[in-house]
A = this chain, B = another copy of it.
Amino acid sequence: MNGLEKLLTRIVQRVNINLREFDFDVALYIKGLVSFAQLETVHGFYVVSPLHTLDFRFSHSNLAGSYFMGKCRTTNAILYKSDIRGDELKKKGSVFKVEGFAIPLTKNEGIRIEDSFLVKTLVHNFSHDPESPERFTISNTVSTHFTNIHGSPTDGSFLGPFVTVDLTTVNDCVIGPYSYIQAGEINHFHINTGTIWVRSAGHFNFLYRFPKSGLRPYISFEPGKQPQGIFIDFINTHNREFEKIFATVNRQTPVTVPDTASLDRFAVVLPQTTIAENVLVAQRSFLQNSHLGKGSNAQENCFIINSTLAGYNVTAHGAKLIGVDLDTKVFVGFNSFLRGRNCRLKIGENSIIMPHTIIDSSTPLNIPADSLVWGLITGKEDLLTNSIPLKKLQKIHSGFSRGNLIFEGSGNSFVAAFQDRILHILDANGAFYNGKKGKGHAQKNQHISFNIIQPYSEGKKKGLYPTIVIKP
């Protein structure tokens, strides 16, 4: 057993110990999930930029294909093609205001990943937990393909493919494929496949569960097999374009990009794509034959194909748009899959497409302005059970039920929370930059360098990276 195999064995044991109450064996799920040949040969990256914190310490880890930004520590971790974005970490000297507390920070916040195996996982701050304001830790955890760990300290857990944990502290949980959890803190839960849960204690509770048979064609995950379904097939179809851009050290910008916008060097951009002012195109996003209007963003792992974004649109991590026209200020949440199959999907302004929504229609669909949309929609009739006008929702005080959705609490609070968050996302990304004020990622990510790291290719440490320490 070489060093990398020992490390994987150690991680599996630690996760299983944490999950022993569920009699859960993570080894069954991850056996063969990633080939050792891939772990030993794919190179990783870290960002050098004067506008971001630069503070990395990688030790006894495999970082194949992973991307690091900000302040990150990894110890005894295997991070395969993951994306660890620390560009919104809290700064030393600032005051973190949360839940009525004002917490002064005495050092820069950092992301720590220990004793964990993350596969194609996006780790993003801003982390929310007032109990650990200076450290965002992921430990004793396995996450699988296209998981988003979004501002969510996670310990002792197993996250299935296309899971998102969002602003939620996760402790000793198993979370099934395609579930989205935004619940503050969860402990010792085994959450079923396709659960969409948004909770704000004392204010509202949004709980939807995808129909099993409806979700299965899109994503399924069984022990001993790779994740399967339309999501995976779709991504695999487009992989070759990414291979090309990762094979060269530097490359020419493929399209004209305004001074106020940024196009990451590791994004795929195919003709005919246009990028307007204040747009952010993140690494590992895929654009083809689309227009990104002013202040829009294309976040990591998103695909925007044959689509138009009128402006101030959020395409969150892992969202996919194929044949979609978004009017202004439409928000499309994490890992959503919106596809017009030989037809157009039109979504009216200010609409909120909930994270983990599937709209996959072979007849044209027009979603009215100011709608909230969730769950599985394969045609017009599904909109009756899976959408509601925002104005109607705002008037709800004690809950309602519709299709597979149970909503409790204040609709007004729910809508306000989402709208605040969308505004924060657009602001952080620089959508409102006016040449003087409002700089965000779109303006700050223009001049970054990428350093490339590779593991030992021989010997006991084969596949492990050396100890790497980077400071300004």
Footprint of B on A, CB under 8 Å?
A: 41, 43, 48-51, 54, 246-250, 446-462, 465-472
Contact = CB atoms under 8 A, between A and B. Distances in A.
Contact of A51 (B247, B446, B458, B468): B458
Contacts of A51: 458-459
Given A43-B249, A466-B470, A454 B459 contact: no
Contacts of A453: 451-452
Contacts of A450: 454
Contact of A466 (B250, B462, B471): B471
B451 A447 contact: no
Contacts of A455: 48, 449
B449 A454 contact: yes
Nearest to A54: B466
Given A43-B249, A247-B249, A458-B51, A451 B452 contact: yes
A98 B41 CA distance: 42
Given A50-B462, A446-B458, A451-B452, 6 more contacts: A43-B250, A248-B249, A249-B249, A450-B454, A452-B452, A468-B468
A448 B457 contact: yes
A41 B48 CA distance: 13
Given A456-B449, A467-B472, A468-B470, A461 B249 contact: no
B466 A457 contact: no
B466 A467 contact: no
Interface centre among A250, A456, A460, A465 (most CB of B within 10 A): A456
Contacts of A43: 249-250
A242 to B, nearest CB: 13
A444 to B, nearest CB: 10
Contact of A248 (B247, B448, B451): B247
Contacts of A446: 458
Contacts of A449: 454-457
A449 B64 CA distance: 13
A194 B153 CA distance: 66
A471 B458 CA distance: 16
- Counting from the closest, the 10 A-B pairs by CB-CB distance are A50-B459, A447-B458, A452-B452, A449-B454, A469-B469, A467-B471, A447-B457, A451-B453, A449-B457, A50-B456
B48 A454 contact: yes
A469 B472 contact: no
Given A468-B469, A470-B466, A470-B467, A50 B448 contact: no
Contacts of A41: 250
A466 B247 contact: no
Contacts of A448: 457
A423 B456 CA distance: 31
A247 B460 CA distance: 30
Contact of A456 (B48, B454, B457, B469): B48
Contacts of A447: 457-459
A457 B262 CA distance: 14
B249 A458 contact: no
24 contacts: A48-B455, A48-B456, A48-B466, A49-B456, A50-B456, A50-B459, A50-B462, A248-B248, A248-B249, A447-B457, A447-B458, A447-B459, A448-B457, A449-B454, A449-B455, A451-B451, A452-B452, A466-B471, A467-B471, A467-B472, A468-B468, A468-B469, A468-B470, A469-B469
A460 B249 contact: no
Contacts of A469: 467-471
A461 B43 CA distance: 26
Nearest to A41: B250
A37 B467 CA distance: 31
A44 to B, nearest CB: 9
A81 to B, nearest CB: 15
Given A451-B452, A466-B54, A471-B466, A458 B49 contact: yes
Nearest to A57: B469
A350 to B, nearest CB: 36
A347 to B, nearest CB: 37
